[in-house]
Amino acid sequence: MSLKNKKKRGNFPLFFLMPAILSAFVVLIFPIVYATGLSFFEWNLVSTQNRAFVFLKNYINLFKDKIFWSALLKQFGFIFIAIPIELVIGFFVAILMNRQFKGVNILRSLLLLPVFILPILSGLTWSFMLQPEYGTINYFLSLIGLKQKAFLAYPGSAYAAVVIQDIWRMWPFMFILLYAGLSTMPKELEEAAIIDGANFFEKLYYVIVPYLKPTIVMAILLRTIDALRIFSEVYVMTGGGPGNGTLLLSLYINKQAFEYFNIGYASAMAIILIISSLILTRFLIKNSFDLGESYE
């Protein structure tokens, strides 16, 4: 393309980008700026008092808020328990399914279903299965002579249930990304390892894992960002309870904003959550999303 031509095209990127940028201003940028503003105010919607500018007081109070720290801890616990398990299951099933046999395509499609299921339906179904009197899981436990348990009635087991629900729903996500990665792996790599007399675990360690590393990193980061904003499935399953047993960050923000109507305080938390996910997204971009030559 000649230089002149390039110049002539100068106004057009704006033409194509403008609608998206304008929409982003309305639904993303303005709300974020507004939330930042709100976070500097003490503003309770149900109290008769007017909003008061308190600058960083909400943030300072956050540091002193035990429930906030416990929500943060539970959030990270969630990330550190659920995601590694999802990765390991997804990884081994990807290796298992990476062979041709009759019906393998149907099996793979079926595994995708949980990922696309409504999160609330997943949460509701698990809470059904965990019901003490008629739940499916308790039925099977009673078959092997175990006592029926009200899993969702205790903070510890409710938290475990929330994690298991997520593992059930999202390991296939890991599976499908890793499976896609595996299917692009050159056969020669594996064959060379076999000729060298590598056993299964050596093959994993020296060939498969290094080859899949970029995919693994990306899958972990995507899931982490996802896990940081988990809401609906937990909301319908436990509502954050019992006590505050499953009160993850999003649920605590929701509680502060829409049950206690502490808009300023909730906004401060919302901003912290945004910043955390932006930091994670930066890692994601650095490691996984390369815009590449064609976009330069």
Partner 1 sequence: MNKKAKNVILIILAFLIVIIEMIPILVVISNSFKRDIDIFSSTPFSTNFTLKSYISVLKDRTFLRGIKNSLIVALISSAFSVIVGAMASYGITRYKFKGKKFVAYSFLTSRMIPQISLAVPMYMLFRSLNLLDNVFSLTLAHISFNIPYVIWLLLPFFAAIPKEFEEAAKVDGCGEKKIFWVIFIPLVSPGLVVSFVFSFIMSWNEFLYALILTNIRAKTAPLVVNAYLGQYAPMWGKLSAAGTLMLIPAFVITLTLQKYIIKGLMAGGVKG
Binders in 154-173 for partner 1, by CB under 8 A: 168, 172-173
Number of residues that bind partner 1 (CB under 8 A): 101
Interface region with partner 1, contact rule CB under 8 A, candidates 65-73, 188-196, 202-210, 251-259: 251-259
Of residues 235, 264, 231, 232, the one with CA closest to residue 250: 231
Is 69 a residue that touches partner 1 (CB under 8 A)? Answer: no
Only one of the segments 55-63, 78-86, 94-102, 149-157 lies at the binding site for partner 1 (rule: CB under 8 A); that segment is 94-102
- For the record, the structure tokens of 198 come out as 């590598």
Q: 201-234: b or e for each residue (b if 16 or more CB lie within 10 Å)?
A: eebbeebbeebbeebbebbbbbbbbebbebeebb
Region 177-236 residues binding partner 1, contact defined as CB under 8 A? 177, 180, 218, 222-223, 225-226, 228-229, 231-232, 235-236
Is 269 within 8 Å of 61 (Cβ atoms)? Answer: no
141 is a contact residue toward partner 1 (CB under 8 A): no
Quote the Cα angle for 188-193-199, to 5°.
140
Half-sphere exposure (CA, 13 Å, Cβ side) for 73? Answer: 8
Nearer to partner 1, 60 or 112 (CB): 112
Q: Return the number of the residue (1 or 46) whose C-beta is nearest partner 1.
A: 1
Q: Which residue's CB is nearer to partner 1, number 207 or number 257?
A: 257
Pick the closest to residue 157 from 241, 73, 223 (CA basis). 241
- Per CB under 8 A, 125 contacts partner 1: yes
Answer for which of 108, 149, 185, 244 binds partner 1 (CB under 8 A) is: 108
The continuous run of DSSP H or E covering 114 comes out as helix 104-116
Q: Which range of residues in 56-64, 77-85, 106-114, 153-161 is near partner 1 by CB under 8 A? A: 106-114
**Site for partner 1 contains 117 (CB under 8 A):** yes
Site membership for partner 1, residue 3 (CB under 8 A): no
SS3 content of the chain, % helix, strand, coil (to 5): 75, 0, 25
Q: How far is CA 262 from CA 122, 159, 199, 208, 247, in A?
A: 30, 26, 59, 50, 17
Q: Within 10 A of 139 (CB to CB), how many other CB atoms are there?
A: 13
Asked if residue 76 binds partner 1 (CB under 8 A), the reply is no
Give the footprint of partner 1 on residues 4-43 (CB under 8 A).
6, 9-10, 12-17, 19-21, 23-24, 26-28, 30-32, 34-35, 38
Reference 168, options 81, 76, 82, 250; nearest CA is 82
Residue selected from 2, 50, 109, 199 as contacting partner 1 according to rule CB under 8 A? 109
Using CB under 8 A, which of 58, 238, 246, 267 touches partner 1? Answer: 267
Select 205 or 258, whichever has its Cβ closest to partner 1. Answer: 258
* Count of residues in the chain: 296
153, 198, 274, 287: which one contacts partner 1 (CB under 8 A)?
274
Measuring CA to CA, how many Å separate 203 from each of 31, 98, 101, 179, 192? Answer: 50, 15, 22, 16, 10
Shortest Å, Cβ 199 to partner 1:
13
Q: 43 or 159: whose CB is closer to partner 1? A: 43
59 lies in the site for partner 1, by CB under 8 A:
no
